[in-house]
Chains A and B, each alone.
Chain A
Amino acid sequence: MATRAPVVQVEHICKDYKLGEETVHALKDISFNIDDGVFLAIAGPSGSGKSTMLNMIGCIDTPTSGKIVVDGTDVSGKTPDELADLRSRTISFVFQTFNLFPVLSAEENVEYPMLRRTDISKSERKERVSFFLNTVGLAKYAGHRPNQLSGGQRQRVAIARALATRPRIVLADEPTANLDYKTGESILSMMKAINRAFETTFVFSTHDQRVMGMADRLVRIEDGELTTLGVRAGNVWKYVKEKDVPIPTSDAEMQQLLKEDPELRRMIMEDPELRRALLDDQSVAGVAGKGGR
């Protein structure tokens, strides 16, 4: 899979936040690579440092120590303007809160990040706007303002906006957290399809089981430490640090797996986060009822 050089290299990243007298170690010595074209999920409990990690990769936050190389460029010590230009060319964001410009129509929102790109001509711009609005299935809504769109439609516009600059990497911080189950799912499969079709690298942070189900790379962060690096091998996560865990595609299958594998059951009982990651809580209660909560 990784025939090309990694899009992002994360090397020994630490991030501390000072809160008054206290220092919060949000990230502790994290290293991993993001290969070109992957669909990577950063998982972990709330407050574990997922968003912080994504911000580092997106060059909108700087690590306390360590090095990040994005698209062959070491970003440490770059000026804000240089970082802005780097973002403009190689990085796109999809936000949990969509973050569309409320005064711009859907197509203007998609066009916006291309406006400062002198290398994209006006006709090229217009072409891309309609192409990507079409890709996300919103051609009909081109003239609508964000407040005239549903949450799912807004996120689609945001995705079209993220893709329009043809970035090397799209960073999405919990892109489905503000959407209902079905909408989230369709957004995800759309992103997956785009990932396949354009070979755009996607990096998510998520609590969402389904996102992990679609990912082909998994990075688990707990309390600022990288605990698991997973590579999908068929239906199984090949874990670098831990026992392989099968990837359930449905709740029924998951429960089947749990019945068959006492070791996995024990792991899930012991690790609430893994439990949350792999199941919704009801099914755990159903399977492992008495031991549970």
Chain B
Amino acid sequence: MWKLALRNVSRQKLRTAMTVGAIAAGVVSLVLAGGFVADIFVQLREFTIHSQLGHMQVYKEGYYQYGTQAPAKYVIDDPEPVKAALLKNPQVNDVMARLNFSGLMSNGRSDLAIIGEGVEPNKEQKLGTYLSIIAGRHLTDDDQFGIVLGEGVAQSQKLSPGERVTLLMNNKDGSLNSLDFEVVGVFRSFSKEFDSRAVRIPLAAAQELLTSPGVNSLVVSLQRTADTEAVAAATRLQLSGKGYELKTWEELSDFYRSTVELYDVQFGVLRLIILGMVVLGVANSVNMSIFERYGEFGTMRALGDRNRTVFGLILAENVIVGSTGAAIGIVLGILLAVAISAVGIPMPPPPNSNTPYVAYIRLVPLDLLGAFVIGLMAAVTAASMPSWRVSRSHVADALRRNI
């Protein structure tokens, strides 16, 4: 039967070629669109991790829910043992600490309420940051009392790199503490609102201001993103019952999650549309060739073939056509993907960033399989209706068409 099907398929070379071509085109577009979306996911993921979140963060229990209002209440007083424990894990690349504060900043003429973060500058640099410097430079570990200001802060206070400011805040026991800093740079983030209130200083300076040796969060970066869940699970076990909590980047990034969800839905719809288009494109030629061979199917049945044999033959033919088209589509899609990736697709800056980036076509085996199945399904779906009708039709009527 497969032999007969194969020969029937190769009978109408041009028409079969067109059907195969339509399926291949659909599969190619699926491969490319899917690979593009997959790449966006990966880039967005890495961007999310390397802009600020790290792979996971460890806090004092309750910080995640309440800490933004009162960071001072949720401080890990002695971070060293936790840090050491984390670093023991070979999958962990690095651990760095952050300490949040709020207070007043004075340029000698006026005061401004700010929120700030004490960070380990070099480690932050290594992880990557969503802050881009528009004047001066980033903080480094050598800047003992350096400060970088948000764009809005610098503007309203009329500050530029080299000038000096004073930070003023309540420490743990309620007394006022102040320190002088030198502006080393001005940054811009994705949020104007954030930029009009935010500053960054070295961790040690922040600890001195707050007269506390503690930190709010320990940001963990891993060797490989794929290990996140495993390491998180292991660490949770390690830290359980000691008053800490742990969040992975995925839990922290609402944005990543909702973006992926959105894209997934969109891509699902796109898949359906492509499937529909291929089915429509293929249906016509499949229909035509089945209709033309109506008499032949009548002959088969007159010679004693059962209905399901006829149905099976037509389906077999279209499985051959569909899988050929899908296979060609996959191969073409891969070649195109490689070619496009070699050049790269220049992309506008993603949200939360102002640097344009280059997108590639990422080939995910599971997506390739999905594209193949869709190509195959298109042919089979297009054929199933008319072939069912043929196999149900009246034999004598079918034979009458043999003119």
Contacts and interface: CB of A to CB of B under 8 A. Distances in A.
A80 interface: yes
Interface stretch (B49-57, B267-275, B304-312, B372-380): B304-312
A116 B305 contact: yes
Chain B at the A interface: SS class:
helix
Contact of A112 (B303, B306, B395): B303
B307 A80 contact: yes
A93 B7 CA distance: 24
A71 to B, nearest CB: 14
A84 interface: yes
A60 interface: yes
A19 B358 CA distance: 68
Greatest chain A CB density within 10 A among B4, B302, B306 is at B302
A165 B302 CA distance: 13
Interface residues of A, number: 26
B395 A99 contact: no
B296 interface: yes
B399 A88 contact: no
Contacts of A87: 302-304
Greatest chain B CB density within 10 A among A85, A101, A161 is at A101
Contact of A84 (B4, B304, B396, B402): B304
B304 A101 contact: no
A282 B302 CA distance: 38
Contacts of B298: 60
Contacts of A80: 306-307
B307 A84 contact: yes
A92 to B, nearest CB: 8
Nearest to B6: A103
Contacts of B8: 103
A81 B394 CA distance: 13
B396 A55 contact: yes
Given A61-B394, A104-B7, A97 B402 contact: yes
Interface in B375-400: 394-396, 399
B299 A99 contact: yes
B295 interface: yes
Interface of A: 55, 58, 60-61, 80-81, 84-85, 87-89, 91-93, 95, 97, 99, 101-104, 112-113, 116, 161, 165
Interface of B: 4, 7-8, 11, 295-296, 298-299, 301-307, 309, 394-396, 399, 402-403
